[in-house]
């Protein structure tokens, strides 16, 4: 199948899984078409790619785990540097959350 043929099939399927569309057209075209899958949740692939890249480069999970252990043991010194590091982590998480919301194009209730 050429690229153009596949593109035409996908267009004709209009969101229906391609295999289901082909089976329907070949074996039962007089019946109603099969159920279509839901809309693809990602609206902004660039924002999602940016978020995934940030997560891949981040040591955020490891750092948060270390902070939680130190806080639970009582050995976390609350210095201006510690406070700034925590505020930076909060800003990074908030930014990643905003990117994810943008990529998925969802309404978020505060």
43 contacts 103 by C-beta, under 8 angstroms: yes
Q: Which domain holds residue 14?
A: 1-38
Do 66 and 90 sit in the same domain of this protein?
A: yes
In a domain, 16, yes or no: yes
Do 25 and 67 sit in the same domain of this protein?
A: no
Tens-digit pLDDT profile for residues 34-59: 765 555 566 777 888 888 888 878 88
Structure confidence at residue 35 (pLDDT): 64
Q: pTM of the prediction?
A: 0.47
Q: Which residues of the chain have pLDDT under 70?
A: 35-42, 106-110
In total, how many domains does the chain have?
A: 2
In a domain, 109, yes or no: no
Structure confidence at residue 39 (pLDDT): 56
Distance CA 53, CA 45 (A): 12
Structure confidence at residue 36 (pLDDT): 59
Do 56 and 96 sit in the same domain of this protein?
A: yes
Closest residue by Cα to residue 46 from 3, 100, 106: 100
**Sign of the alpha-carbon dihedral angle for 79, 82, 88, 89:** negative
């Amino acid at each position: 199948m050429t690229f153009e043929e596949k593109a035409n099939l996908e267009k004709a399927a209009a969101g229906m899984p391609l295999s289901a569309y082909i089976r329907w057209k070949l074996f039962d075209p007089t019946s109603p078409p099969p159920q279509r899958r839901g809309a693809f949740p990602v609206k902004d692939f660039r924002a999602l790619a940016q978020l995934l890249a940030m997560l891949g480069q981040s040591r955020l999970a490891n750092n948060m785990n270390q902070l939680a252990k130190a806080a639970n043991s009582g050995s976390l010194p609350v210095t201006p540097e510690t406070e700034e590091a925590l505020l930076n982590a909060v800003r990074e998480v908030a930014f990643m959350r905003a990117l994810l919301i943008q990529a998925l194009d969802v309404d978020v209730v505060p």
